[in-house]
């Protein structure tokens, strides 16, 4: 290494890069042997492809004129070539030199963007990034990624949000989530899932669903960030105190629930009023009613033959169908159909159903259920079966299930969760619901059943739970007097301002009216809430088309969507039923409003090929009462239009309602009846039937029951003595002066 001792006299640059680092500028020699000027690095010889040309070395000058160098992790050879030179191995086998703030083409720390794979060069210039700038950019990028992941994990139920959106499979290949917020029902926002709709095999619009999901994620991110900001503005002592108070409240509720029930008190059952099933005097009406009973026989016998003990029937496949809404609880069709069997005089079938319930109906399951669906179908079906028959097993099972549902109310506000694990008592909300909110039509559709549970058990806790929901609602401001569909159970505040009298909102309004009627018109708070809500609905949602059809639109943050769902069609019967108690002599107005809604919904049936109504129909783009989107053209044996016909017939005795009801019977027989039962349809505008292969339990509980009542005399379940829950299960009016059940001490 004698060359190293002669650095001051100028060395061949290929043999002594170390000197450049040690002295900052090596006095190298030119090609002719003369020394180069001091203070500059030597030129490098290209040793590529036999070339011997000289190239100037990079100039490692900072903005201030000083020279800074780094030793790279490898010795690439000539300054501007990223391939090793043969001469370099003699002098520096360990490391080479790279300028810290240069932009040479070799792509080192100081290399310009796009620098040197394959030896291409880019000179220094304004576009080149310095290391400090790169470091700042890296910090900004890291902070952005951290913020995004932090926001995601601040969201409620973030794991399910991620799994449901980031890893979402093709919606067209998935069966839709079932649900029914409202009479017969479902919701509409999941994208409303749409879920809320107990639908099977209904084709979906993948692009629209993806767009809804992305919009919902953006909204949830913004809300989560706002909530996180508000939380961070609190003092640590306040945050800790709030957490401790919430934990203490939940623990007290759980302890109280466990200590409440040691057994049911004895009761004296009083025979119900208005359950005599006399034949109609008119022979034609008798014949039509007998036909509807035969339809019930066909649906029940096929369920018994192919799906006995399971939740529902697949009439095309001729096998059982179990919805995730009920977890591992079985027998939804059996419980849902109990009172229909009783009312139609099918005594043998009723006894078969009772025997199954006594032996096999079990609520001790480790599974998550929909609180709403289990309440309206199972609790409601068991309560009505008890009130009609007096069989103690039904009262016992109803109260047992009611106790199982109480942990759903263990939230800071007392607004219950949508979903509940029956074993652990852990609840949560639908992952698609706005900001982790509970749904108005779900937590607002518990009142009738829970009031009767307190009445039959002698324990006020059920009534207290649902009355607290009213307390929370009455403390909140209502946008334009309307009730949004989403309410956060933790904060007790509204979520997204989406208002609907259809999916997600429907049965909340129904239960306000019926709570007043069921209390023998003593619950004046419910009456006021109902009529205030109806006034706001009339002002902001009810519109008339150019063709003269009255419809109820949906309200989204102040903007109207001129769409009406099949679920919304129950409102005609609701308006008519509440007309008698209307303020300021508006009874006739509400009766007429009910008739107008009934006409609109009949038109939605009449304008299809099948003469059965679509899931939703629109009043825009030059169409009226017609579904314009493929994912709104299905019919799943829904009862809401028939329900309105039943109330309008009972309250007006206008014969057109029996005519319209019989049209529905003929359409069901022509298009939905199959050898294995009754199936829903995928497209009511198409000439050929495409079946969804599900016989919904509510077809037996609601659709056939309402049809049977339309062609029966008014003294069968008279409206002044019976109130129907949103699944058409009849409950007696609770009269203070004449209690039907007297609770005694053990």
> Do strands 54-55 and 69-71 pair parallel, antiparallel, or not at all (unpaired)?
unpaired
Question: How many C-beta neighbours within 10 Å does residue 539 have?
Answer: 11
* DSSP secondary structure letters along 196-258: SS--SS----HHHHHHHHHHHHHHHHHHHHHHHHHHHTS-HHHHHHHHHHHHHHHHHHHHHHH
Distance between CA atoms of residues 271 and 387, nearest Å: 8
Q: Report the candidate in 166, 169, 163, 160 with the shortest Cα–Cα distance to residue 204.
A: 169
With contact defined as beta carbons under 8 Å apart, do 682 and 710 qualify? no
Which residue is associated with the tokens 């960030």? 225
Q: Is 554 helix (H, G, I), strand (E, B) or coil?
A: strand
With contact defined as beta carbons under 8 Å apart, do 553 and 560 qualify? yes
Which residue is associated with the tokens 């009542």? 709
Distance between CA atoms of residues 486 and 493, nearest Å: 9
Helix (H) or strand (E) run with residue 71 in it: strand 69-71
With contact defined as beta carbons under 8 Å apart, do 70 and 100 qualify? yes
> Do strands 616-618 and 368-370 pair parallel, antiparallel, or not at all (unpaired)?
unpaired
Show the DSSP H helices in 6-154 as ranges.
17-23, 88-91, 131-154
Show the DSSP H helices in 519-579 as ranges.
524-540, 571-577
**Annotation marks residue 248 as catalytic:** no
Report residue 328: phi and psi, to 5°. Answer: -100, 5
Distance between CA atoms of residues 230 and 242, nearest Å: 13
Helix (H) or strand (E) run with residue 350 in it: helix 347-360
Distance between CA atoms of residues 404 and 211, nearest Å: 38
Q: Report the candidate in 736, 696, 730 with the shortest Cα–Cα distance to residue 274.
A: 730
Report residue 118: phi and psi, to 5°. Answer: 80, 10
With contact defined as beta carbons under 8 Å apart, do 408 and 399 qualify? no
Q: Report the candidate in 10, 79, 19, 96 with the shortest Cα–Cα distance to residue 43.
A: 79
Distance between CA atoms of residues 92 and 77, nearest Å: 9
Distance between CA atoms of residues 642 and 567, nearest Å: 11
Show the DSSP H helices in 109-187 as ranges.
131-154, 158-165
Distance between CA atoms of residues 171 and 313, nearest Å: 23
With contact defined as beta carbons under 8 Å apart, do 513 and 199 qualify? no
Distance between CA atoms of residues 473 and 503, nearest Å: 19
Distance between CA atoms of residues 657 and 352, nearest Å: 34
Query: Which is the catalytic residue, given 615, 624, 632, 643?
Result: 615
Q: Where in the sequence numbering do the catalytic residues fall?
A: 615
């Amino acid at each position: 290494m004698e060359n190293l001792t002669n650095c001051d006299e100028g060395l061949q640059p290929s043999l002594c890069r170390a000197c450049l680092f040690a002295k900052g500028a090596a006095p190298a020699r030119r090609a002719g042997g003369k020394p180069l000027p001091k203070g500059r690095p030597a030129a490098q010889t290209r040793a590529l492809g036999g070339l011997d040309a000289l190239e100037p070395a990079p100039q490692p000058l900072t903005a201030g004129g000083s020279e800074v160098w780094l030793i790279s992790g490898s010795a690439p050879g000539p300054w501007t070539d990223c391939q090793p030179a043969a001469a370099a191995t003699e002098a520096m086998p360990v490391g080479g030199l790279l300028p810290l703030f240069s932009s040479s083409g070799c792509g080192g720390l100081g290399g310009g963007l796009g620098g040197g794979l394959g030896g291409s060069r880019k000179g220094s210039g304004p576009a080149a990034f310095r290391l400090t700038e790169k470091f700042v950019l890296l910090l900004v990028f890291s902070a952005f990624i951290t913020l995004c992941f932090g926001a995601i994990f601040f969201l409620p139920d973030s794991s399910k949000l991620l799994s449901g959106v980031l890893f979402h499979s093709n919606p067209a290949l998935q069966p839709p989530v079932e649900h029914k917020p409202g009479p017969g029902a479902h919701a509409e926002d999941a994208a409303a899932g749409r879920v809320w709709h107990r639908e099977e095999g209904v084709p979906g619009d993948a692009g629209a669903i993806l767009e809804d999901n992305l919009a919902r994620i953006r909204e949830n991110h913004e809300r989560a960030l706002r909530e996180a900001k508000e939380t961070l503005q609190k003092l640590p002592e306040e945050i800790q105190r709030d957490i401790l108070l919430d934990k203490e409240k939940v623990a007290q509720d759980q302890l109280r629930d466990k200590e409440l029930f040691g057994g049911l008190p004895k009761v004296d059952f009083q025979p119900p009023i208005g359950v005599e099933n006399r034949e109609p005097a008119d022979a034609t009406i008798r014949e039509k009613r007998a036909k509807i009973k035969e339809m019930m026989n066909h649906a029940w016998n096929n369920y018994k033959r192919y799906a006995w003990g399971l939740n529902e029937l697949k009439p095309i496949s001729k096998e059982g169908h179990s919805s995730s809404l009920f977890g591992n609880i079985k027998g939804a069709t059996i419980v849902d159909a109990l009172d229909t069997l009783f009312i139609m005089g099918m005594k043998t079938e009723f006894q078969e159903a009772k025997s199954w319930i006594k032996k096999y109906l079990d609520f001790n399951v480790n599974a998550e259920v929909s609180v709403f669906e289990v309440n309206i179908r199972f609790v409601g079906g068991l309560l009505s079966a008890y009130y009609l028959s007096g069989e103690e097993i039904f009262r016992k099972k109803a109260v047992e299930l009611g106790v199982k549902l109480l942990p759903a109310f263990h939230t800071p506000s007392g607004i219950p969760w949508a979903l509940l694990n029956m074993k652990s008592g852990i609840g949560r909300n639908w992952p698609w619901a706005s900001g982790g909110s509970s749904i108005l039509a779900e937590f607002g559709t518990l009142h009738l059943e829970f009031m009767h549970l307190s009445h039959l058990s002698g324990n006020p806790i059920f009534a207290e739970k649902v009355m607290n929901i009213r307390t929370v609602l009455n403390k909140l401001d209502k946008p334009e007097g309307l009730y949004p569909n989403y309410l956060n159970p933790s904060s007790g505040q509204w979520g997204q301002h989406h208002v609907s009298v259809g999916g997600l909102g429907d049965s909340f309004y129904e239960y306000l009216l019926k709570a007043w009627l069921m209390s023998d018109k003593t619950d004046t708070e419910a009456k006021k809430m109902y009529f205030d809500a109806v006034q706001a609905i009339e002002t902001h949602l009810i519109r008339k088309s150019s063709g003269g059809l009255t419809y109820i639109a949906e309200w989204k943050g102040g903007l109207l969507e001129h769409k009406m769902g099949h679920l919304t069609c129950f409102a005609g019967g609701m308006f008519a039923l509440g007309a008698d108690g209307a303020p300021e002599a508006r009874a006739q107005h509400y009766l007429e409003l009910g008739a107008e809604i009934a006409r609109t919904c009949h038109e939605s049936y009449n304008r299809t090929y099948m003469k059965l109504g679509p899931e939703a129909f629109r009043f825009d783009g030059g169409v009226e009462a017609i579904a314009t989107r493929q994912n709104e053209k299905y019919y799943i044996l829904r009862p809401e239009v028939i329900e309105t016909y039943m109330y309008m017939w009972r309250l007006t005795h206008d014969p057109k309602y029996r005519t319209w009801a019989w049209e529905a019977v003929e359409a069901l027989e022509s298009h939905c009846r199959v050898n294995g039962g009754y199936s829903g349809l995928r497209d009511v505008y198409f000439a050929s039937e495409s079946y969804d292969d599900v016989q919904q339990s509510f077809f037996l509980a609601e659709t056939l029951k309402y049809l049977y009542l339309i062609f029966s005399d008014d003294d069968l379940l008279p409206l002044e003595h019976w109130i129907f829950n949103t699944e058409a299960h009849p409950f007696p009016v609770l009269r203070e002066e004449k209690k039907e059940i007297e609770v005694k001490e053990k």
